Structure formats: structure tokens, C-alpha cells
Amino acid sequence: MNYLIVVAHPDDEVLGAGATIHKLIKEGHNVAVAIMVSQAAARKDLSSTLTSDEEEALNLLGVNKVYHANFPNIKMNTVAHLDLVQFVEKCIEDFSADAIITHHPSDTNNDHVQTSYAVQAASRLFQRREHLPQLKQLLYMEVLSSTEWSFDSSANRFMPNYFVEVGKEGIDLKIKALSMYKGVMRPYPHPRSNEALQGLAAYRGAQSGCNYAEAFECVFQVF
């Protein structure tokens, strides 16, 4: 299977699915990452080495194919929706993606929301391109310090129904990959802390009856 991880910013891919990415690659699947806002210029503690931080983190996970766009940080809502969709479509077509993992559409971060909407539209690309096979799976992931801060009570919040057992070693690797993104992690009790990541994985594992897990919301799956 070819898994395409579509995220708004560098580090979102590790926060949301880092251990799962590593597990998929170890199992022989192909994984590529598409980043919509490559520079994250509005980030408070923007690392001057963000590009090399990203490369080191993804190398650790085993990812060697990355697509980059340069849409404006925290201003993706000012970009034509079609431009966002067409970038994702190009990634799907080039990678021959079978499955996509992306942000939940009710995240607090608006760039995450716009990314999710773009992926939703692009996921129907096979209906417009006869040579492309149907996408087999679409998953929403949870990104700590965004997904759980979904304040709009009228929206459908993240409801996990798909769990990937990653083990303690998977979470340790995820934390190590995140540490390569300078300025991203925070001391506990911030949600982007080692303790919060470990605690969430332990809870998701207990919730699903397995040994540490990353949780997703399955939008659709085709057998």
C-alpha cells in the first residue's frame, strides 16, 4: 500500500502519526509526506534549521519521499480552495496513493482545517481521472495542542474508531523524532510534552485493548 500523509506544517506528521508511519514502513508499505506550509513562518519559536530538522525527523521514521508546497502560514484560508486541492491531487497522482492520513476538519488550527478540506475534495480524484484507482482509505489523525482544542461544540469532534498498536518503542521513536524539530516540544503539562504523548498513547492503547496506540478516525475504507 502507498500511504500519503498530508499535513499543514512540518512536525504535524510526527505529532499525528509518527509511530504509525514508522510501523507501516517496517511492514513494507510505502509512505510519503506532503507538507502544505513548508516554512511555517508564523511559528513563535521558528527554528532557523527547520528544513534540516524535518529531514532528520523523517529520516529517523524511514520516510524518503516528501512533497512541499509554500502556502502561507496561518493564512491558508486566503488561498483559493482549488489551489490547495490541486496540490494534493498532484501528490496523489505522482505517488499513486492508496490511502491518505490527514488532519481532522474540526481542529482549532485553521491551516489544519483547510488541509483537511482540500484532502476531502482530492480524495475523489479517481472519479475525475479514469486511469487512477479508487482511494482505499481515508483517515483523520489527532494532533495534540490542536485537535483536542476543538472549541466549536456544533462541529463533529474527533471520534477515534481506528487504532494502530505501536508499542512503547514506537512512542519512544516518535518522541525522538519530534525532538529533532527544535522549539516544538514543551514541558509538561503542555500537550506537546513527552508525558502527554506517552499518556495519550497509553490511553488509546487501553481504549482499544492493545499496547500503546495511535488513534485515527476512519472516514472510509474500501475492501
- What are the backbone angles phi and psi of residue 196, rounded to the nearest 5°? -65, -40
Residues of the domain holding 98: 2-221
In the chain, the number of structural domains is 1
Is pLDDT of 203 > 60? yes
The answer to which of 36-50, 83-97, 124-138 has the lowest mean pLDDT is: 36-50
Mind listing the pLDDT tens digit for each residue in 174-187?
A: 999 999 999 899 99
Tell me, what's the pLDDT at 40? Answer: 67
Q: Please report, as a single letter, which amino acid is at residue 207.
A: Q
The closest of 39, 33, 81, 36 to 57, measured between CA atoms, is 33
- Split at pLDDT 50, 70, 90, the class of 136 is very high
Mean pLDDT in residue range 11-33:
98
User: Residue 167's domain is classified under what CATH number?
Assistant: 3.40.50.10320
Pairing type for strands 162-165 and 213-221 reads antiparallel
- Tell me the CA end-to-end span of the chain in Å, nearest whole number: 13
Q: From CA 24, how far away is CA 213, in angstroms rounded?
A: 13
Whether 172 contacts 165, CB under 8 Å = no
The tens digit of pLDDT for each residue in 153-180 reads 888 999 999 999 999 999 999 999 999 9
**Residue linked to cell 508499542:** 167
The gap from C-alpha 52 to its chain's centroid, in whole angstroms, comes to 19
> 212 in the Ramachandran plot: left (φ > 0), alpha (ψ -120 to 50) or beta?
left
By the 8 A CB rule, do 107 and 143 touch? yes
Query: Could you tell me the pLDDT band of residue 209, with boundaries at 50, 70 and 90?
Result: very high
